[in-house]
Amino acid sequence: MADARRPPEVDRVAASRRAVAARRERAALKKDVAMRVITPQELLRRALAEPESPAGAMRVTEFLTAIPAIGEGKRDRILTDLEISPVKRLGGLGTRQRNALRRFLDERWPELEPRGGRSRLVVLAGPTAVGKGTVAAYIKQHHPEIHLSVSATTRAPRPGEVDGEHYFFVDDAEFDRLVAAGALLEYATVHNKHRYGTPRAPIERVLAEGRTALLEIDLQGARQVRAADPSATLVFLLPPSWDELVHRLVGRGTEDDEERARRLRTAKIELASQGEFDYRVVNDDVARAADEVARLAR
Ligand code: 5GP
């Protein structure tokens, strides 16, 4: 005779499947915090908004050690200081504990508040393969009031690329001449290969007309724009998750292990620079992300 106290076999199988899925989701969230795809505060917000979600079910110990620079020793001291028991889950924190944890996070990892008085010089940057080009192309098509800068580059045109529309394709001597003449607002060697730069004159003209200029450039270029014009609006495009970025970076699996590891290292470094930006936009959907960038650029 079946034991009435034991759940039927099918229920137990389903429950264990759910547990495995939940564990996987928690692991993905921890990776997102570790790789700085989301802030610890964002994860805490999700946990408190939905205590039954994978974020809510995460133990406070797991949460803290997912944060870069917190090891197990530091974690235990923090929990003692905040008077939070290590067995607590994020979704189960009391009001006083939530506030203490939030205050602690805000002090150590301040979330950038968008600054006022930003200019209409807008830079869109982000890690390699996050989809900057696609978002910029969408903005060009759907927000014609925004001027998308056309860069000069020493790389050869790809099939379908039109000189003067996608890039100004120049040779090394011509690029040198542009640099010497001060004709570039910023320039950089990208991926250790070719040089790319933003022609200054069209940007100055657009800004003088009171319009918005959007630059889709790499991180080195973004830093140069910030140095040249501290009021420039810097937007960082983020992947929806670390796993998704990995997928976009190495998804086709055509690279060898060394190249794969190099790309992931670079992505981690690139993500760590997002604190230098005024706004962060998640590229979860091209049209949505593009509309958000366009709104910020107004
Ligand atoms: P692609 O060769 O694939 O078109 O572009 C390669 C990278 O160059 C992209 O990450 C893009 O953001 C960057 N890039 C394109 N134009 C410029 C530019 O004018 N300045 C800088 N610094 N980077 C650029």
Q: Which residues line ligand 1 (CB under 6 A)?
A: 132, 151, 155, 186, 188, 190, 196-198, 216-218, 220-221
Give the residue among 121, 140, 142 at the shortest CA–CA distance from 235: 121
Going by pLDDT thresholds of 50, 70 and 90, the confidence category of residue 196 is very high
- Higher-confidence residue: 250 or 273? 273
Rounded to 5°, angle at Cα 32 from 64 and 288:
135
Q: What residue's CA is closest to ligand 1, atom 11? A: 217
**222 CA: nearest ligand 1 atom:** 22
Q: Under DSSP, is residue 280 helix (H, G, I), strand (E, B) or coil?
A: strand
Q: Which two tokens stand for residue 150?
A: 């056309």
| pLDDT for position 191 | 84
Residue 243 alpha carbon to ligand 1 centre in Å: 24
| Strands (E) located in 99-239 | 121-125, 146-148, 151-153, 167-169, 184-190, 194-199, 212-216, 233-238
Instruction: Answer whether residue 77 shows pLDDT above 90.
Output: yes
From ligand 1's centre to the CA of 111, what distance in Å?
28
Note the pLDDT tens digit of each residue in 14-49: 889 988 999 999 999 999 998 888 889 999 999 999
Q: Is 126:132 a contact under the CB 8 Å cutoff?
A: yes
Query: Which protein residue's CA is at the shortest distance from atom 23 of ligand 1?
Result: 217
- Residue 115 pLDDT: 45
pLDDT for residue 185 is more than 80: yes
Q: Is the pLDDT of residue 113 over 60?
A: no
So what's the pLDDT on residue 243? Answer: 94
So what's the pLDDT on residue 168?
A: 98
Mean pLDDT along residues 240-253: 88
Ligand 1 atom having least distance to the Cα of 197: 19
**Best probe residue, ligand 1, of 184, 190, 293 (max atoms within 8 Å of C-beta):** 190
Q: What is the pLDDT of residue 112?
A: 56
The model's confidence at residue 209, banded by pLDDT at 50, 70 and 90, is confident
What's residue 254's pLDDT? Answer: 73
* Residue whose CA is at the smallest distance from ligand 1 atom 10: 218
pLDDT greater than 90 at residue 7: no
Q: For residues 99 and 251, which has the higher predicted lDDT (pLDDT)?
A: 99
pLDDT of residue 223: 97
Nearest CA to ligand 1 atom 6: 190
Ligand 1, residue 188: give the atom nearest the CA.
22
Q: What is the average per-residue pLDDT within 130-147? A: 95
Q: For residues 236 and 219, give the distance between their C-alpha atoms in angstroms, rounded to a whole number.
A: 9
What confidence score (pLDDT) does residue 92 get? 97
| C-alpha pair distances (Å), 222 with each of 85, 188, 219, 235 | 43, 10, 5, 9
Q: What is the structure's pLDDT at 175?
A: 98
Write down the mean pLDDT value for the chain.
Answer: 92
